Structures are given as C-alpha cells and as structure tokens.
Structure 1
Amino acid sequence: MDSNNAKSQLAEEFRVIKRPLVNNIQGAENNGINRSNLILICSSLPGEGKTFVSINLALSIANERDKSVLLIDADVEKPGVAKQLGIDNSRGLIEYLEDDRVTFSDILLKTDLPNLSIITAGKRHKYSTELLSSQRMYLFAEEVSRRYKDRIVIFDSPPLLVATQAQILAELVGQVVLVIAAEVTPQSVVNESVSKLSNCDVVMTLLNKTRKEIDIYGHNYSYGKYGHF
C-alpha cells in the first residue's frame, strides 16, 4: 500500500473511531454522561500505542468545522506528545498544577490547525501523582470541560497498570478509551484494567496493532475492532 492510500485509510479509520465519542458528547444531556467532552486515552501497559491514538484522534476531531480540540499530555512520567510532534515541553501541566501563578494561557500551545491546541506534560516531578490528584487538577478539569461547550479535551494518560495516575485521571473524565495491543496484551491484563475503570461512565476498547490491516511507518494498526465492555 502506498503512502497516500495508507494515510487515507488511517484517516477513515479515525473517522469511525471518533463518531461514538462525539455522539456521546452531543447526547450527554440525555445519556447522563458527566464531563462527556473529556476523553482519556489509556492502555494497560507501555507500548500499546495510546499516544499515537491520542494524537490522531485529536487531529481527526480538529478537522471537523464545529469542533475544537485540546490535547493534553498527562503521561507526566514518560510524556510522548511533545516528542512525537516536535514541540517544546519546557512548560506544561505540571507547572500549572505546581504554581498558582501559572495560568491556563501560559501553558496553552496553538498549532497550525486553528481548531487544535496542546498542553504538554511539562517537567518531571517527584510528586506528580499528588499534583494530579490535587484540588487544582479537579478544578482544571471542570474549567476545561465547561468553559467552551464546543471543545473536546483529550488526555494522553499513563498506562493503567504501571502508574496510579491513570486511575486518578479516569475519575475526572466522562469517557475512556482503552487501547489494547492485539495478540500481545493478555486477556487477564485487559480484565484487570477494565476492573480499574469500573466507576467510569463510558469505557470503550480499541484493538491496536493487528497484523491484518495497514502498515504505517513500520507499525501495524487496525482500528476497526472498536467496541464497548
């Protein structure tokens, strides 16, 4: 498959992925999902492709005319968004949570896409878990959820079974996407992750890295097997 066809197929697959998430946001008043416009992308273990999914989902939604997207790198121990996008990670979420003098606008990065903004993870911090579970983080989530009704916020989370931060973040959002590496992640591991997300309003699963579909930049991705637990 040539590069253009691969990119076109990838774009189409993310159109399929985003639709139930966007539909849940649009029907939030009727379906009772709290903070439905806050979406957490996580995995059980490292290397399952959650950051790839976070970035491409954000790009796909940002291409819609009536939607704006804020992509937040909340994997504060091993941030990947800034690295993959080639942007500065010198000031981000950790600085905001640590210092009351740092404002939202101080850490918000605009991109070439008018509808896409980014907040990086910021510096490493030995008390990152405490910062993510702080009242300031809760108020931050409330603020980004309510201030702009047309904004969808995507958090790239640490892996669920490696760090406690993911469970903390899951309590702040209305929707969770659990990325699963096909034919790699054991069912028992997936079940353990799902149990940790049992209190979340919506948990969707995304089967990633199957061997049957398209090859993008040396990695196999399939997003067709997308469902609910």
Structure 2
Amino acid sequence: MRVGLFPTCLVDLFRPSVGFASAELLGRAGCDVDLPEGLTCCGQPAFNSGDRKSAQALARQVIAACEGFDAIVVPSGSCGGMIRRHYPELLAEDRDWAPRARALAERTHELVSFLVDVLGVETVSAACARRATYHDACSGLRELGIKAQPRKLLESVEGLELTEMPGAEICCGFGGTFCVEYPEISNRMVSDKCVEAEASGANLLLAGDLGCLMNIAGKLSRAGSAIEVRHVAEVLAGRLDEPPIAAARGEDAR
C-alpha cells in the first residue's frame, strides 16, 4: 500500500521526530511511505477563525498534493479531522473540487486509527519502562472516534504501565486559536489537566496531537513537574532518543 504521510505544521516545525516515528511505524506495518510534495497547512486555523476563503485555498492545495496515494496518514487527530470531516463541507459548493475533497476524506486516517482499524496492527516492538497516562485530544476523540486504539497498542509496549486520569477526555485548553482568544479559560483548563496528570502517579504523559502536548508540556514545566511529555508515536516506535516535548518558544507564561 502506498501511503502519503502528512506530518502537519507543528511536527514539521517543532517535533520532526514524530514524523520519523510515524514513518517507521507505517514501514514496519508493510506500507510504502512517501511524503507528498507541496504540502503546507491543512487550513484548520483559518477554518476555525472563519476565514473560509483561505481555508478553501489551502484545502485545494492539500488535495492536489495528496492525490495518487492509496491512503493519507496524519499523526494528529485535529488535522486528520479537518481533512476527513471538514474538507467535504468546505468545498461542497465547488463542482470541480467537491468530489476530490470527498475522495481524499475517505482515504485519510489518523495514525493509530490507521494502524489498528485499517491495517489490523495489534502489537508493536518497543520497550519503555515507565508509568504513563494518556490524554484524549478533542478532535481525535470526538471527530474520529480515537479512544481504544492507542491504548491497545500501548498495552503491547514492554515495561509500560498505563494509568488513567479521571478527566482523560476533557480538553486541555489548547484548541488551536482558542488558547489565544480565551487565555484565562485556557490556562484554567490546562492547569486542571496537569493536576490530574500529577495525581495519576505517571511520569510520562502521552497524546496523539502535538498542539495539546506542547500546551500541557509548557504548563507542567512552569509548575516544576518531572512528568515527561511525548507523542504516542514516539513510544510506539521506540524512538525515545529525543528529549521530551517542551513548550513552543515564545509561548506566553500562562
């Protein structure tokens, strides 16, 4: 199967190791992995801000870049949800692009969902002797139904103990532009998330969306927490040579 890996803007700019881990997992599962040429942003920030014209232009660019692949895989529920759920809506009135948007939506999958639900992967070859907790990012959970899949694969990681936060499904407060438009609310939400992470007894926090991870990592760091933050793909691929995720440089001191 020829798979196009859409690494996302945040992975490209802040955490390339997530892209390499994703490619490694797909390769181990028997996929021929390539990077579509001409990829940029999926358009979600513009879409969420009401700038439909810019979002449509970006969607067309992504669609054109991703044609010719059997599947497009994204290590992010938010970007994957944008393509699967919102591209068809965004271009519904465009006679030429609407069918292409629907076709891409049908072939696009979030990484762990693709591994488990499409390829039938049940175990991975990785070891991580840590106690971890998992944050369910909003878009992946609510738009794509990603809940059991990462936990299924994490169960097969040698030495890893998974402990659940009671509020694992509650938003971390990132929400793309939400954290910029409503910083006080966002800060309270991520503070609550970090309190629950500490209470879980875990020393490692995992999720499938880098935006959430950088938001949580920044708050944990400012609170002096020893909890490390990583993308689930890095643990599943056994790529733990990189330092844990940190907040984006220039982030305000919420």
Give the TM-score, by structure 1 length. 0.30
Indicate the structure (1 or 2) with the bigger Cα radius of gyration.
Answer: 2
**Larger helix proportion, structure 1 or 2?**
2
**Larger strand proportion, structure 1 or 2?**
1
